[in-house]
Structure 1
Amino acid sequence: MNAGPTAAVPFTFSDRTAGYVVGRRGREVELRTLDGRLVTVHLTDVTYAHRMRNLGEPYQDATGSMDEHLRPGAFLFSYGPVYPEGGELHYQATELIFVTEAGGTPPYERAGWWTSQLGRLASFYRTSQFGTGPVDFADYRTEIRAGGAKTGRHVQETDTISRMVYGMATAYMLTGEEDFLDVAERGSRYLHDHMRFSDPAEDVVYWYHGIDVRGPRESKLFASEFGDDYRAIPAYEQIYALVGLTQTYRLTGDPVIRADIEGTVRLFERYFADRKLGGYFSHIDPVTLSPHSDALGPNRSRKNWNSVGDHAPAYLFNLFLATGEERYRRILEHTFDMIVTHMPDRNSPFVNERFHADWTPDTTWGWQQDRAVVGHNLKIAWNLMRMNATMPKREYLALAERIGATMPDVGRDPQRGGWYDMVQRLPERGRHPFVWHDRKTWWQQEQAILAYLVLAGHTGDQDALLHAREASAFYNSFFLDHDEGGVHFTVLADGLPYLVGDERLKGSHAMSMYHKAELAYLAEVYTRLLVHREPLDLWFRPGAGADFPQRLLRVAPDVLPPGRVELESVRVDGAPHTDFDARSMTVSLPDTGDRSTVRVRLRPVRS
């Protein structure tokens, strides 16, 4: 028997809204989204609320105090079903996450937020790799599951070890925790002993892709094992081999580390550099060391963002900070001159990222095609500002500010918050379509936070500071794994974790400690010293034979705008030390014959 027509079940979906409270009428809360639209969110009798929290902090329920939090100006995230009805969207709130109260300081701008987060991350990776006992890098594994357990993969990749070393060295710099420095130094020594190949005839150092530790003897993997770079030596692998070594050298002055860094820089200048047209080639042949070998296939005679630009944040800035040597500043200058000369595109808000030898854009290479990686554009912006601080050029500032002004409209999610991954570089039907998905990765959030935080710190731009705060809110609300530790690789557009394939891992070819630690360190530095104008303590651990030029320990936290920050005080092994220069932020190391613990306090220069 036919029961007759029934009402169709309306199409619904669940989604998140990021916004500022404008007003409230009973159970209806009006929010202003990040792009200025007004959205009404409907509360129900089962709506629950909590405050955003840092790693290691307990759940902070706010359900019973929602009325106190839902005041004009408060920033929050709402999540729940969305009902498309009559051409409009009706938002129902199941969950509210309160980030700030009206007019309040975001919790991630309070002194120590990022330091605490980095300490928790360092503890997670230390325990995952080595347990709580002695550190032996023979036990290191590239892949780490979500909860910290290792997978069965036996290859130790050079880059991921170096990235972990960076994270541990940086954690020591912010916390003074000796165990983190121990991991960094043991990792640096392991890289030297197991992953390094020194060619005395050419006076250069290469780094193996990794080693396979199955069986009684380790098997060296010279060329890359990955599809994009298979059987080639990619520049980015050599670059990231230095990221942890350079940060550790910055703390210790270890002459062995310095020699390895110098040998690798000679490798770049001798075999990757294009002496005719500038920049660095992306790959060289492992036999001939030529970037023009036919064996390189689609990587023959190519340049890309990574091979040209990644030198700067990965090791060059930190090498310059540690030594003050002009030759490194000149390499940095060349790198950024190539970026501002060849990468901008008048027809797109995004830079070109891949090039032929003559700098003609390559829009047909592999997965990249004519597509934009949002994070690469943002990374260019904050590193241009650092370069502009030490060598001002109008081209550097202009491109950084152009990227900062244009990226929110094409790379940010104005409804939910957070920043996207990959989009088409040229618009179609008035927008830049997603390439594969609208998910968000952890490292691209880092680039957004730092792009706008560094812009705000250097220029005082309040719009940039707002973008930095909103990006920080999304990252701290949805990427921190409060259940198992660490940071999620990817979340869906609405912030829910995406735990599929390699993206469920906490350690992989793509993820170690580098981006998370770099974010925590620089966010603490810029927020404390330049945004809120508060002092900051850092730790260093130079040895008796520290290989620093003029025996000067350089403690500038980053390449900051000149005259904005100075060194207030120094303690060596707990005792006051007065032999330092406040403005140059250098410490004359005492000739004690012993290793020293140096704690410095930096402060904003008083107006």
Structure 2
Amino acid sequence: MQYTLLLLSLFILVSCQQASNNADAQFYATSMEQSIHFFDKAYNADQGFYYSEVNHLGQIESDRVHTVALSRMIYGLAYAAAVNAEFAVRAEKAAAFQLKHMIAEDKDGLYYKPAIGEGEQAEQKVFDIWQQAYGACGLTELYRHTGDEMLLHQIHRLNNAFIKRFQDKANGGFYGLYDAEEGQVSGSKTIQSLMYPITALMGNLWLADIGNREQYETIIKEHLAIAYKSVWNDSLQWVNTRFDDNWQPVYADGDMVSPGHNFQFAALMLRSANWSFLSDQERSDYHKLGKTIVKATLEKNIWAGQEVSQGFFEAINPHTGEVLYRNKSWWQHCEALIALSFIKDEFADEYQQLKDFYFGTFIDTEHGGEWAKVDEDNQPLVEPKGQKGKSVYHHIEMLRFLSEAEQKTSH
């Protein structure tokens, strides 16, 4: 009798878990569709691209197409193609537009034009790693789903030029800026120049381009090793954000940190557990550091009302702990949820509270899309929902990691 009751209890538990996971999957699918459809008014169906500058109602504000915004839209479309077949068609058309109109070439190879449209410069002289890394995120995600060899050939050409411009062969890692005339810009190394080549580009490309994994593994290993040594400031309990050419932290009186960068870096460390080319010791060390950062950040005085359920403020002075900006940013909460998704069983309450806060606060249920920021009382700030770097990416990338984490829990 006891054995029968035990089996029945297990059956009910598994059934409830499956029902919960199915409900979450449907919720995420609907959320992706709503996020993408908000930009329907900005879609140029004839040429297959999206205008980038869109107000909070979804109306086009200019003729500009920004590389990062379009690339991030392609990422969202490609990932969400499993939900809606039309998204696959749009992703391929937008990628074709990007490759034809938003790629240029100089003596160092191909590069992503920052933007096209009225008033944009014709020739690129200074390249920043943010735009050149995220310019690739859409194409790499599209390749992950299509396996198109012609697309991969173009990605390789772009990636080779990217490495040539930014890689520091003497001290490791990448510079953050490259001048077409002067070369790599001394003093431009940042936390972004360590993370973005992995998170926006090579991490996903490694997953998709199985035949060429070794060329990405070398760079990922090097960047993780530098990041593990140089990024986390254990005394301040904040990430270091700027570095000299030797990867020594650089500090200034006006320093400002975003809690989102703590979580973003923690997520990278935790994500490394999935990379089999790292040693067992490396994966253990990186995972331990990632969890340490999440725990330390959760305990900081960054939360409105000291409650995780109310979200966290946008910017902090790392030396004094003073809150500098009390708004709350959508992308930072996406990064926090991604980090927590890797260790959600250990931080189940915080994970659920922050998840409820994000979906209850940043999603515009009236007009669609996601608010970029809310104030300290969680009231939306009326800002464009389509910007130089904002389209659907952070939201859909978060849904991807949440979905993957919750699927693992269910098996």
Q: What is the aligned partner in structure 2 of residue 190 from structure 1?
A: 97
Q: After superposition, where does 1:137-152 map in structure 2 within 5 Å?
A: 137=48, 140-151=50-61
Structure 1 residues 186 and 160, CA gap change in structure 2 (3 angstroms): same
User: Comparing both chains, which one has the higher relative contact order based on Cα–Cα distances under 8 Å and sequence gaps of 6 or more?
Assistant: 2
* 2-structure distance, mates of 1:258, 1:155: 27
SS at match of 2:347: helix
| Residue 252 (str. 1) matches residue 142 (str. 2) | no
Q: Distance in 1 between matches of 2:285 and 2:191?
A: 18
In structure 2, relative to structure 1, the CA distance for the partners of 1:400 and 1:221 (3 Å cut) is: farther
Map residues 394-405 of structure 1 onto 2, 5 A cutoff.
394-405=284-295
The separation in 2 between residues aligned to 1:261 and 1:468, in whole angstroms, is: 36
Residue 403 (structure 2) pairs with residue 524 (structure 1): yes
Question: CA–CA distance in 2 between the matches of 1:423 and 1:106?
Answer: 37
What residue in structure 1 maps to residue 203 of structure 2?
317
CA distance in 2, matches of 1:121, 1:311: 26
The residue aligned with 2:322 is 433
Counterpart Cα distance in 2 of 1:359 and 1:109: 46
Post-superposition offset of 1:347: 1.8
Q: Distance in 2 between matches of 1:433 and 1:349?
A: 14
Q: Does 1:505 align with 2:384?
A: yes
Q: 1:107 to 1:487 in 2, by over 3 A?
A: farther
Partner of 2:111: helix, strand, or coil?
A: strand
Contact 1:332 1:387 in 2 (8 A): no
Residues 144, 505 of structure 1: 8 Å contact kept: yes
Q: Using the TM superposition, give the Cα deviation of residue 509 of structure 1 relative to its aligned residue in structure 2, in angstroms.
A: 1.2
Query: Aligned partner of 1:348: which letter?
Result: L
The equivalent of 2:67 in structure 1 is: 158
CA deviation after TM superposition for structure 1 residue 407, in Å? 0.4
Is contact 1:115–1:521 with CA below 8 Å preserved after alignment? Answer: no
Residue 122 of structure 1, CA deviation: 1.5
CA distance in 1, matches of 2:359, 2:96: 34
SS of the residue corresponding to residue 111 of structure 1 reads helix
Deviations 1:333-375 (A, max 9, x none): 112111101112132111101111122222239xxx4221111
How much does 1:488 deviate? 0.6
Q: Give distance in 1, aligned partners of 2:90 and 2:267.
A: 29
Distance in 2 separating the partners of 1:116 and 1:485: 12
Q: Deviations over 1:528-550 (max 9, x none)?
A: x123x1xxxxxxxxxxxxxxxxx
Equivalent residue number for residue 136 of structure 1 = 47
Deviations 1:361-390 (A, max 9, x none): 22239xxx4221111110111121221222
| RMSD (Å), alpha carbons | 2.3
Query: What's the TM-score once normalised by structure 1's chain length?
Result: 0.60
The corresponding residue for 1:327 is: 215
Change (3 A) 1:350 1:196: same
1:424 aligns with 2:317: yes
Match of 1:291 among 184, 189, 193: 184
Farther off after superposition, 409-418 or 313-322: 409-418
Q: CA deviation at 1:409?
A: 1.8
User: Superposed, which structure 2 residues align to 1:559-570 within 5 Å?
Assistant: none
> What amino acid sits opposite 2:85 in the alignment?
E
Q: Are 2:246 and 1:361 equivalent residues in the alignment?
A: no
Q: Distance in 1 between matches of 2:262 and 2:147?
A: 33
In structure 2, relative to structure 1, the CA distance for the partners of 1:470 and 1:108 (3 Å cut) is: farther
1:387 maps to which of 247, 272, 289: 272
CA distance in 2, matches of 1:311, 1:356: 18
Query: How many Å separate the matches in 1 of 2:341 and 2:122?
Result: 39
Q: What does residue range 150-299 of structure 1 map to in structure 2 within 5 Å?
A: 150-151=60-61, 153-173=62-82, 175=83, 177-199=84-106, 202=108, 204-213=109-118, 221-223=122-124, 232-288=126-182, 290-292=183-185
Deviation at 1:314, TM superposition (A): 1.1
1:28 alignment partner in structure 2: none
1:518 to partner: Cα distance? 0.5
Aligned pairs for 1:41-52 within 5 A: none
Correspondent of 1:307 among 176, 193, 199: 193
- Secondary structure of the equivalent of 1:233? strand
**Structure 1 counterpart of 2:60, which letter?**
K
- Quick one: distance in 2 between partners of 1:194 and 1:239? 18
Q: What is the letter of the counterpart of residue 401 of structure 2?
A: L
Alpha-carbon distance change, 334 to 108 in structure 1, aligned in 2, over 3 angstroms: farther
Partner of 2:27: 113
Give the CA deviation at 1:516. Answer: 1.0
Pick which of 490-499 and 414-423 moved more: 414-423
* Alpha-carbon distance in 2 for matches of 1:481, 1:206: 35
What is the letter of the counterpart of residue 290 of structure 2? A
Q: 1:107 & 1:323 partners in 2: Cα distance?
A: 30
SS of residue paired to 1:466: helix
Letter in 2 for 1:276: A
- Specify whether residues 137 and 111 from structure 1 end up closer, same or farther in structure 2 by C-alpha distance, changes over 3 A only: closer
Alpha-carbon separation, structure 2, partners of 1:417 and 1:508? 26
| 2:89 counterpart SS class | helix
Equivalent residue of 1:354, what SS?
coil
Give me the whole-angstrom Cα distance separating, in 1, the residues matched to 2:176 and 2:95: 25
* SS of aligned partner of 1:303: coil
| Pairing of 1:336-355 with structure 2 (within 5 A) | 336-355=224-243
TM-score by length of 2: 0.87
Q: Corresponding residue for 1:295?
A: none
CA deviation vs aligned residue, 1:475-499 (integer Å, no higher than 9, x gap):
1111110111111110112211122
Amino acid of the residue matched to residue 111 of structure 2? Y
Aligned counterparts of 2:312 and 2:234: Cα–Cα separation in 1: 23
Tell me how far 1:515 sits from its aligned partner.
Answer: 0.4
Three-state SS of the structure 2 residue aligned to 1:335 is: helix
Cα offset, 1:507, TM superposition = 0.1
Q: Give how far 1:220 is off.
A: 5.2
Q: Which residue is equivalent to 1:14? A: none
Per the alignment, residue 368 of structure 2 pairs with 485
Identity of aligned residues (%): 22
* Inter-CA distance 342–185: structure 2 relative to 1 (3 Å threshold): same
1:444 and 2:349 aligned: no
Secondary structure of residue in 2 paired with 1:302: coil
Which structure features the higher share of helix residues? Answer: 2
Between the aligned partners of 1:374 and 1:160, the Cα distance in structure 2 is 23
Please tell me whether the aligned partners of residues 135 and 186 of structure 1 are also in contact (alpha carbons under 8 angstroms). no
Q: For the pair shown, which has the larger CA radius of gyration, 1 or 2?
A: 1
Describe the shift of the 1:287–1:307 C-alpha distance in structure 2 as closer, same or farther (beyond 3 A). Answer: same
How far is 1:251 from its partner?
Answer: 0.8
Number of equivalences: 384
The amino acid across from 2:198 in the alignment is A
Q: Which residue of 1 aligns with 2:350?
A: 467
